[in-house]
Structure 1
Amino acid sequence: MSLGPVEYMVIEFPGNQFKGEIIPALREVVDKGVIRIIDLVFVRKDEQGNVSVMELKELQKDAADAFAPLAREASTLFAEEDVAKVSDIVENNSSVALLLFEHVWATRFRDAVLAADGRLIAGERIPKELVDAALAWKPEEQEALEVAP
């Protein structure tokens, strides 16, 4: 089976306050075939820095039931080293969802690029803050600020 582009995300919930608000948005992109969840791991770090790791099947029933339809095809691809790296960057008294997913939407485009003997030579995700700042920037205001006494 050929996969489309694969990406991981680490989503932190300070204060161990994960309440499931991301589930409807995640369900939408999974159901529409935009992404496919490959692996999903939850890491919790208590106030003393003790770390516990839970796979989907180890969650409490209500959380497991909410995530299960989204990760039907999930396997266990994250290695212990991946979880250890995440544990190092997570704040005490926080939880994270470690998500590995395939960009299903990009598979056809990738195949077309390959069929055209093309190859990806660079790419990078641009942080939301930089995009927002670029969109908010107004050159006319910048010039006015430079000229003002």
Structure 2
Amino acid sequence: MSLGPVEYIVVEFPGNQFKGDIIPALREVVDKGIIRIIDLVFMRKDEQGNLSVMELADLEKEAAEAFAPLAREASTLFSDEDVKKVGEVMEKNSSVALLLFEHVWATRFRDAVLAANGRLIAGERIPKETVDAALAWKPEEQKALEAAP
């Protein structure tokens, strides 16, 4: 099976405040075929810095039932090293969801590029803060910068 672009994200919930509020938004993009979850790991670090790692099957019944339809095809691709790296940067008294997912929407485009003998030579995810700053940039500020000695 040929996968589309694959990406991972780590979402942290300070104060161990994960309540499942992200599930409806995640369910929407999975159900629409925009992404496919490949792996999903949950981690929790207590006040003393002790780390616990949970796969879907290790979650409480309600949380496991909420996430199960989203991760129907999930496998265990995150390595112990991946989990260790995330654990090192987590804040104490926090929880994280570590998601590995395929950009299903991009598969057709990728196939079209390859069929046209094209190749991707660069790409980067631009942080939201950078996009927001660029959108807030005013032409007057540009002119002022150009006029400065």
TM-score by length of 1: 0.95
Q: Aligned pair 1:121/2:121, yes or no?
A: yes
Show the counterpart of 1:95: 95
* DSSP-derived class of the 2:117 partner: coil
- Structure 2 Cα separation of the partners of residues 142 and 120 of structure 1: 32
Partner of 1:72: 72
Which residue of structure 1 aligns with residue 7 of structure 2? 7
- Structure 2 equivalent of residue 40 of structure 1: 40
What do you get for the CA RMSD once the two structures are aligned? 1.5
Counterpart secondary structure, 1:37: strand
What's the CA shift string for 1:51-101, capped at 9, x where partnerless?
Answer: 000000100000001000000010111010000000000000000000000
Q: In 1, Cα distance between the equivalents of 2:38 and 2:51?
A: 23
Give the aligned residue type for 2:9. Answer: M
Counterparts of 1:52-71 in structure 2 under 5 Å?
Answer: 52-71=52-71
Q: CA deviation at 1:146?
A: 8.4
Q: Unaligned stretches of 5+ in structure 1?
A: none
Displacement of 1:139 after TM fit?
1.6
Q: Distance in 2 between matches of 1:77 and 1:48?
A: 28
> What is the deviation of 1:144?
5.5
Equivalent residues, number: 148
Deviation string 1:115-149 (CA, Å, 9 cap, x unpaired) is 011111110000000000000110214546887xx
CA–CA separation in structure 2 for the residues paired with 1:142 and 1:117:
40
Q: How many Å separate the matches in 2 of 1:145 and 1:3?
A: 45
SS class of match (1:124): coil
Please state whether the residue corresponding to 2:123 is helix, strand or coil. coil
